[in-house]
Amino acid sequence: MSARTAAAPARVARPVSWRRPVNTGLRYALLGVILIFAVFPFVWTLAIALTDKTAGGSIYAFPQSLLPSRVTLHNFVDVYRTFSLGKYLWNSVVITGLTVLGTLLVSALAAYPLARFRFPGRGVIFGLIVLTLVLPGETTFIVNTLTLKNLGLLGTHAGVVLPTIAGAFGIFLMRQAFLAIPAALLEAARLDGASELTILTRIMLPLTRPSLAALGIFTTVTTWNAYFWPMLVLSGAPDKAPLAVAVLKLKGQFNYDPFNIAAGSIIMMLPVLLVFLAAQRLFLRGMEGAVK
């Protein structure tokens, strides 16, 4: 970074010409078109959610429907009351909360010895975890459903959560974080008579808080949005479904009241959007894909 800054004055200046402002303008125009493609569905959904449906307008009256003349929050109240949105919201919170806690706990515990200890079988275990990244998972959901049924967990939140919490992504992310902590620190703690559990909870975890936060945030977003697996596990228990599954039922429920559906969608999107805005650097750094 500093080398690049230092080299800047020596850089050959590009010939100034009429092309420059045209290029910049073109660049922004292109960026704008892609922006519309990316966010138009959200903008429209928000507009519908805020529209006063008693005014009698159609959501399809373009482009007026993008700028509702009478704005209201009534749709949010309406969808919350009539669709018992609170119940599904709570299910989403429980499933996401349990998944995040479980993932952090299991990943950190597994990553610690992989990063810090030498023990027989370490290479094999490491290889097995890497293997999960490339193995084909086409039929996994069938057998897992049967396993959950046998365990009496089909149709429960635990059934949704348990199969998803141990994964290579979390374990490797935490292992990387543990490896970055200087060994001298651990030696000092051991000489002071600290147990391994104390070292993990008092030194390792506080020092790797950024990685724990990152893992927690990625897991939150993935779990909150997950559709297929919770739909499958909870197909016999619709009352336990999270919002991502329930939102599709909104259609039948209200004789397709688009205003309520839009309001429900915004409620579902909002938490994820806030998490993303607060931690966008994390997502835009590409770490998620780098480990996957």
Partner 1 sequence: MQVHWRQSLMSYTFLAPALILLAVFTFYPLLYGAYLGFTEYSGARFANHLPPQWVGLRNFETVLGDPLFRTALANSVKYLLVVPALQLASLAVAVLVAKNIPGIALFRAAYYVPVITSVSLAAVMWEWVFNREGTLNWLLRTLHLTTPEAAFGWLNSEQWAFWAVMLVTFWRGFGYYMVLYLAGLQAIPEELEEAAILDGASAWQRFWRVTVPLMRPTILLCTLLSTIAALRVLEEVLVLTNGGPLNSTYTALMYVYAKAFQGFDFDYGVASAAGLVVALVALLLSALNFRFFHREEQA
Q: Which residue among 110, 173, 177, 205 contacts partner 1 (CB under 8 A)?
A: 110
Based on the shown chain and the rule CB under 8 A, indicate whether residue 31 belongs to the binding site for partner 1.
Answer: yes
C-beta closer to partner 1: residue 207 or 231: 231
Based on the shown chain and the rule CB under 8 A, indicate whether residue 252 belongs to the binding site for partner 1.
Answer: no
Based on the shown chain and the rule CB under 8 A, indicate whether residue 213 belongs to the binding site for partner 1.
Answer: no
C-beta closer to partner 1: residue 72 or 217: 217
d(CA 128, CA 204): 24
Tokens coding 4: 């690049």
Q: Which residue among 5, 9, 18, 117 contacts partner 1 (CB under 8 A)?
A: 117
Counting residues that bind partner 1 (by CB under 8 A) gives 93
Q: How far is the CB of 180 from partner 1 (least distance, A)?
A: 19
**Binding region for partner 1 (CB under 8 A) out of 67-75, 83-91, 202-210, 269-277:** 269-277
- Residue pair 291/173 in contact (Cβ under 8 Å)? The answer is yes
- Axis crossing angle, helix 122-134 with helix 168-179, rounded to the nearest 10: 130
- Residue pair 112/201 in contact (Cβ under 8 Å)? The answer is no
Q: How many residues in the chain?
A: 292
Based on the shown chain and the rule CB under 8 A, indicate whether residue 123 belongs to the binding site for partner 1.
Answer: no
If 0-12 CB within 10 Å is exposed, 13-18 middle and 19+ buried, where does residue 230 land? buried
Say whether 71 sits in a helix, a strand or coil: strand
If 0-12 CB within 10 Å is exposed, 13-18 middle and 19+ buried, where does residue 94 land? middle
Based on the shown chain and the rule CB under 8 A, indicate whether residue 225 belongs to the binding site for partner 1.
Answer: yes
Q: Which residue among 130, 135, 188, 278 contacts partner 1 (CB under 8 A)?
A: 135
Site for partner 1 in 146-205 (CB under 8 A): 146-147, 149, 162-163, 165-166, 171, 196, 200
Tokens coding 100: 């995040």
- Residue pair 200/112 in contact (Cβ under 8 Å)? The answer is yes
**Binding region for partner 1 (CB under 8 A) out of 80-88, 176-184, 205-213, 260-268:** 260-268
* Burial state string for 13-33 with b = 16 or more CB within 10 A and e = fewer than 16: eeeeeeeeeeeeeeeeeeeee
Q: How far is the CB of 205 from partner 1 (least distance, A)?
A: 13
Based on the shown chain and the rule CB under 8 A, indicate whether residue 290 belongs to the binding site for partner 1.
Answer: yes
Based on the shown chain and the rule CB under 8 A, indicate whether residue 34 belongs to the binding site for partner 1.
Answer: yes
Which is nearest to 162 in space by CA: 222, 235, 230?
230
Q: Which residue among 24, 54, 64, 82 contacts partner 1 (CB under 8 A)?
A: 24
C-beta closer to partner 1: residue 77 or 270: 270
Q: Which residue among 20, 25, 40, 81 contacts partner 1 (CB under 8 A)?
A: 40
| Beta bridge mates, 51 | 71
Site for partner 1 in 64-103 (CB under 8 A): none
